[in-house]
């Protein structure tokens, strides 16, 4: 048994990196060399969903952004537990000896999450227009 050297396992990764970078670079460079460029003031202006840039990018943001970011972290990570649960769900009756154990566990878990959402909504954290939340 003389398999390929261990480090060669990383070869696909390397190829993918090369392809990804190569694709991007070749598209940008390709359009630069192949296409014709006639820039006018109107073409450079923001259009449709674009917004005119104002001020410095390092300005302070409303604290609501942080709130939403923090909530995102929490709810994002909560979803992690559903993955192992889903993987093992069909085997749970055997392991626990109770048919609906896994089901109710997840209902309870989702109940906790729901309580969290209810609390956030009622406290007005997601309410961007009203200033009733005490942030």
Among 8, 21, 100, 101, binds other proteins (CB under 8 A): 101
41 binds other proteins (CB under 8 A): no
CA–CA gap between residue 59 and residue 64 (Å, rounded): 15
Q: Which is nearer to other proteins, 26 or 122 (CB)?
A: 122
Specify the stretch interacting with other proteins by CB under 8 A; choose among 12-20, 32-40, 47-55, 80-88: 80-88
Min dist. Cβ of residue 42 to other proteins (A) = 42
62 binds other proteins (CB under 8 A): no
Among 11, 70, 86, 110, binds other proteins (CB under 8 A): 70
84 binds other proteins (CB under 8 A): yes
């Amino acid at each position: 048994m003389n398999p390929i050297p261990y480090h060669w396992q990383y070869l696909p990764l390397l190829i993918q990196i090369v392809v990804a970078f190569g694709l991007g670079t070749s598209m940008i460079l390709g359009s630069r060399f192949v296409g014709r460029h006639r820039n006018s003031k109107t073409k450079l202006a923001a259009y449709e969903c674009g917004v005119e840039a104002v001020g410095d990018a390092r300005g302070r943001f409303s604290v609501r952004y942080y709130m939403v970011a923090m909530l995102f972290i929490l709810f994002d990570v909560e979803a992690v537990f559903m993955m192992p649960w889903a993987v093992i769900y069909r085997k749970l009756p055997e392991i626990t000896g109770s048919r609906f154990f896994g089901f109710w566990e997840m209902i309870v878990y989702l109940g906790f999450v729901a309580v969290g959402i209810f609390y956030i909504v009622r406290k007005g954290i997601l309410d961007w227009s009203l200033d009733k939340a005490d942030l």
